[in-house]
Chains A and B, each alone.
Chain A
Amino acid sequence: MPALDYPPPIQRLIAQLRSLPGLGPRSAERLALWLMQVGPLRVDPLARSLGLLHDTVRACDECGFFIEKDADCLLCTNERRNARLICVVEQAADVLRLERSGAFQGMYHVLGGKLSPLDNVTPEDLRIDSLMQRVQSLQAEEVILAVGSDVEGEATASYIADGLSGLGVSVTRLAQGMPAGGALDHVDELTLFQALHGRRKIG
């Protein structure tokens, strides 16, 4: 007789959940059992949200931040923002963090990650080519590299700065005072504000 296990639909759900970032096999199992117990009233809205996600939301082709389908990007179409200034970040969440700091009035560019050969993340996996095109089409004067200060963040900044050299654009990095090795999500808004104001030229 085969060893007893959960019925296949639950097994499949657990397999799906444990493939999500930050969820190990134990927490995936716990979550699946919880969903089983709470019943459809609680599960259906969740399933609907998941199902609608890619039908209703997409990433802006320009900046990479999220917008509802058929809507204009509030960041890219706002005429009061300075289109000559582009701030490059790793993740969409960094855009919100910088917006809340109130220190930045230019355009954003979300890379979608950072260079990491060990994790098989190459320049082709990031929105680097589209950044190069955007710098030229917007005739940008400055590109601020607000990526993390860990090894991969620094390598990403270095890679982009190298690619931008010769385009006549000034390239800057957030000021010291950012925690060494840290990403933006560990930084409070005041520190971000100061880091943006004290940025230094690297290319």
Chain B
Amino acid sequence: MLEKLTLRDFRCFDSVQVDVHPETTVFTGKNGQGKTSLIEAACVLLRLQSPRTSSRDEWVRFGAQAAVVEGKWNGSVLRCAQSAKARRLAVDGGVCTRSADYLSASGVVVWMDHADMNMLRAGAEHRRRYLDFTGSQLYPGYLTALRAYERALRGRNYALKKDAVIAWRQADAFARVMSEHARVLREHRAALIDLLRPFVTEHHAALSGVGESASVSYACGQSGDDLFEELISRRGDEERTRSTACGVHRDDILLTLNERDAGSFASEGQQRTLALAMKLAQAKVLHQVRGQAPLLLVDDVFGELDRHRRRALMAGMPQGTQKMITTTHLDWLEEGSLSGQVYEVDAGKVRGGA
């Protein structure tokens, strides 16, 4: 459980401390006042990454040297300081040189926002991001393999484009490195989707209630386990396109509703329900594997869910899930289903007890 959250020079915040409620903490206010940055900081504190950006120097407030996020998680004080160049991590005052040591003391996170609908409406990268956000919280080697794979891929693609005659031996050297990491990622992603499937089906059925059956399956961007061999057989394609023809960077999740592709055939309401079911399934899998309820961070979408889906979200989360929610309006609060604390956020200041 997160108890206290302190931000220093994080995005628009100069210095702020928030007492996080054991059940629900709500940040309300107009857009652009910093609500989202507060729950982003909670995500950074627990996961050392943000769903909003991949360049960490964006966290540092303009004109400041370093952004600091600190908080008490299950009794341990976690601290993450990020400057333009370096990151310092500490648990209970002890410096962690390896992020794995830090992460073993922290918790798991589910993040919800408007972009969740992109899982149904937009390209495969949005579904891979969902997989990666989950996978990196479940499997210790996941993120390392992903970063290494992507770096090797960039190097290989550059080598394929650079010269009139492709330097194949060089491209092959990077393909062998990709192949090793692809094996790890493929195994983890396949296992993860197997874990998610029953939960997606179950939550979707409970939400839609009318005999609709949803499912997820893994569409891997390579046909077998040996990416290197497969790339050798795709030389002709790569000569033409000058880029890597297959691999886990082309992975996708197939989302189906009554065995039809949900992206093309589902209505907007059905897509919303499926997106929500996927987030609930993510929470369930994290809970099942890591043995602890996640911290649920909801940016802006809570007030826009209808009453039915809002209730389903609350009821469907694992027991003990702590929630932090940003919202522009509080109409839904009157439903009375919530016990917690409301803060008002205005121009980088946080006021309690609204």
Q: Which of B158, B170, B177 contacts A118 (CB 8 A)?
A: B158
User: Is the beta-carbon distance between B148 and A115 smaller than 8 angstroms?
Assistant: no
Tell me how far the C-beta of B28 lies from the nearest C-beta in chain A, rounded to whole angstroms.
43
User: Is the beta-carbon distance between B173 and A115 smaller than 8 angstroms?
Assistant: yes
**Chain B 150-188 near chain A by CB (<8 Å), digits 1 or 0:** 011011101100100001011011101100100000000
Is B144's beta carbon under 8 Å from chain A? yes
Q: Which of B155, B169, B177, B180 contacts A117 (CB 8 A)?
A: B155
User: Is the beta-carbon distance between B144 and A158 smaller than 8 angstroms?
Assistant: no
Interface size class of B (residues with CB under 8 A): 10 to 19
Q: Which of A151, A162, A180 contacts B177 (CB 8 A)?
A: A151
User: Is the beta-carbon distance between B155 and A159 smaller than 8 angstroms?
Assistant: no
Contacts of B158 in A (CB 8 A): 117-118
Contacts of A156 in B (CB 8 A): 173
**Assuming A123-B170, A151-B152, A162-B172, is B159 touching A117 (CB within 8 A)?**
yes
Is A139's beta carbon under 8 Å from chain B? no
Contacts of B169 in A (CB 8 A): 123, 159, 162-163
User: In terms of DSSP, what is the predominant structure of the interface of chain A?
Assistant: helix
Contacts of B173 in A (CB 8 A): 115, 155-156, 158-159, 162
B171: nearest chain-A partner, CB-CB: A117
A115 to B170, CA, bound (A): 8
A134 to B158, CA, bound (A): 30
A120: nearest chain-B partner, CB-CB: B162
A149: nearest chain-B partner, CB-CB: B148
A156 to B170, CA, bound (A): 9
8 A Cβ contacts from B99-117 to A: none
User: Is the beta-carbon distance between A158 and B176 smaller than 8 angstroms?
Assistant: yes
User: Is the beta-carbon distance between A151 and B155 smaller than 8 angstroms?
Assistant: yes
A116 to B172, CA, bound (A): 13
Is A16's beta carbon under 8 Å from chain B? no
A115 to B175, CA, bound (A): 13
Known: A151-B148, A181-B148. 18 other contacts (CB 8 A): A115-B170, A116-B155, A117-B174, A118-B154, A118-B155, A118-B158, A122-B167, A123-B170, A151-B155, A152-B155, A155-B173, A155-B174, A155-B176, A155-B177, A158-B172, A158-B177, A162-B169, A181-B144
A residues contacting B by CB (< 8 A) are 115-118, 122-123, 150-152, 154-156, 158-159, 162-163, 180-181
